[in-house]
Amino acid sequence: MATASSAAIPAHVPRDLVLPFPLVLGATTTEDPFERMIPDIHQWPAIFWSTNVYPGAGPAWVLRRAADLRAVYQDTTNFSSMHFAPFAKLIGESWFEVPVEADPPLHGMYRAVLNPLFAPKRMQALEAGVRASARSHAERLRDRGECELMQDFAFPFPVSVFLDLVGLPQARMAEFLAWERAMLHEPDMDKVADAVRNTVGYLREVIAERRDSPGDDFISYGIKVEMQGRKLTDDELVGYCFNLYLGGLDTVSTNIALQLRHLAEHPQDQLRLRQEPEFIPTALEELLRAYAAVTTFRTCVKETQIGGVTMKPGDKVAMSTTLACRDPAEYEEPNQVRLDRQPAHISFAYGPHRCIGSHLARREMQIALEEFLRAIPQFRIQPGARIVTHLGGIIQPETLPLVWK
């Protein structure tokens, strides 16, 4: 794979658009990236080229404006989702993540059979169990007066919910999270490949077991469901389960952490949500906008122009929801968090590829805020804490020490 030092700049890339993008795999910072780093990038051109933004330190275009992201999300003629992440290729296999890496018409076929699994009514029916889990995890922390949020709540609460939904053992949570972190934060592609092999090997074992003894879990659903009169192939099942695994073990945890960090650092916002818990669903949308954390990719398949910039077949395009949701052309004073803003945002992507699990994610985040605020007194960041944040792929604190009286 190309490296930052060796990546050739193609002839169609204007040299004045080549910029050192900081939000790359393996990069970390001890500052809050939402305070200075991300606002500074919005002083750059609307579209620019970075030599090391694609996993493996490969080059890609970076879009920072919400309107441009929406245009590319919708444009399945000139841009492909197929293999936007290098996981299968790293281990020499042909599967892809289902449904997120599929293009039309296959993508629509997958969504048609999988949407019922994630329908709002079905997700609402899970609420009692999700709330019980959140309450249990929060209440056990109350008397301690402090916690390390990532390992004590942000990961174990939503991951325990996910493991129950897919029927995987809670006892192996730490192992699953180690594989996940390597895939999402490790810059060494050999280590990423090892984590992918471990994950896929395990998922194949589970798929084989569920074929013999299916249940009511999400993996069994994929085995039993039919798409236009046929079952999913082995590769499709691996891609479906791998997509569940990645989405279920990290994204909700990251959002919960960033949202609670905001409340820890903004006591007036925390106080308002304590006094008006019915306002939490409204506030959540602004927190989702302000702390959008995920970057995915597209591949240009036909020469086209976006915002006057020519993109050629084979060019990678970084779809940073983090930048789009802080776009000053889209939001008034985008770096101010206004809990009553009620924004339209693309934290869950946009158009046909809008996150299939967004209804469940929202329920988990809302319940996390409600139950943590109910159980834990006024909290703040531990004085003197040094918070390291991963910057590439998904913006995520390594640790988040909180204290309360």
Residue 335 belongs to domain with CATH number: 1.10.630.10
Residue 154 C-alpha from the chain's centroid? 14
Distance of CA 132 to the CA centre of its chain: 24
In a domain, 239, yes or no: yes
Residue 269: inside a domain? yes
As to burial, measured by CB atoms within 10 angstroms (0-12 exposed, 13-18 middle, 19+ buried), residue 8 is exposed
Domain contains 211 = yes
Q: Model confidence over 17-58: pLDDT tens digits?
A: 999 999 999 999 999 999 999 999 999 999 999 999 998 889
CA angle, residues 155, 160, 165, in degrees to nearest 5:
130
Sign of CA dihedral 201, 207, 213, 214: positive
Domain contains 253: yes
Residue 9 placed within a domain: no
Q: Are 396 and 293 in contact (CB under 8 A)?
A: yes
DSSP string, 117-140: GG-HHHHHHTHHHHHHHHHHHHHT
Q: Return the structure tokens found at 99.
A: 């449904």
pLDDT given at position 1: 33
Q: Is 3 part of any domain?
A: no
Distance (Å, whole) CA 311 – CA 198: 36
User: Alpha-carbon distance 279 to 73, whole Å?
Assistant: 31
| Edge-to-edge strand list for the sheet holding 58-63 | 47-54, 58-63, 316-320, 295-300, 79-80
Nearest residue to 284 via CA among 175, 358, 188, 384:
358
- The total domain count for the chain is 1
Give the pLDDT of the chain (405 residues) as one tens digit per residue: 333 344 589 999 999 999 999 999 999 999 999 999 999 999 999 999 999 999 888 999 999 999 999 999 999 999 999 988 889 999 999 999 999 999 999 999 999 999 999 888 888 888 999 999 999 999 999 999 999 999 999 999 999 999 999 999 999 999 999 999 899 888 899 999 999 999 999 999 999 999 999 999 999 999 999 999 999 999 999 999 999 998 888 899 999 999 999 999 999 999 999 999 999 999 999 999 999 999 999 999 999 999 999 999 999 999 999 999 999 999 999 999 999 999 999 999 999 999 999 999 999 999 999 999 999 999 999 999 999 999 988 999 999 999 998
Domain interval for residue 270: 15-404
Torsion angles phi and psi, residue 345, rounded to 5: -135, 170
Q: What is the pLDDT of residue 7?
A: 52
Q: Is position 162 within any domain?
A: yes
Let me know if residue 298 belongs to a domain.
Answer: yes
Task: Please give the Cα distance from 101 to 319 (Å, whole number).
Answer: 14
Report how far residue 244's alpha carbon sits from residue 238's, in angstroms, rounded to the nearest whole number.
10
